[in-house]
Amino acid sequence: DTGVSQDPRHKITKRGQNVTFRCDPISEHNRLYWYRQTLGQGPEFLTYFQNEAQLEKSRLLSDRFSAERPKGSFSTLEIQRTEQGDSAMYLCASSPRPGPTGDEQFFGPGTRLTVL
């Protein structure tokens, strides 16, 4: 399978715990995106990487959230001191080329986080 993969698919945690999600984009895709989707809503942009550089962060991404893409390949999204409001589906997407080409983003299956 050469699509975007995410791990884990589901995560249940207690409030106050830290969680980390992983995203493996499609091979050779320069751009990687994280989105959050809550029930009944469309995905909301969180952050964007071009290669290893994090170029944009949404105001939705509080100080408890951090994302990395150390070698320009896979990415991790960490949430510290989770809160019940963090419960959502976290989606990762990648796209193939830099520049404003308008290419579509390819989405992974998502990680569903439940904070108890």
Partner 1 sequence: AQKVTQAQTEISVVEKEDVTLDCVYETRDTTYYLFWYKQPPSGELVFLIRRNSFDEQNEISGRYSWNFQKSTSSFNFTITASQVVDSAVYFCALSGGGYQKVTFGTGTKLQVIP
- Site for partner 1 contains 30 (CB under 8 A): no
Min separation Cβ 104 and partner 1, Å: 4
Interface positions, 70-99, toward partner 1 (CB under 8 A): 89, 91, 93, 95, 99
The least distance separating partner 1 from the CB of residue 102, rounded to whole angstroms, comes to 4
Q: Quick one: DSSP state of residue 11? A: E
Using a 10 angstrom Cβ sphere, with 0-12 exposed, 13-18 middle and 19 or more buried, the burial of residue 88 is: buried
Give the Cβ contact number of residue 77 at 10 Å: 24
Nearest distance from residue 16's CB to partner 1, in Å? 27
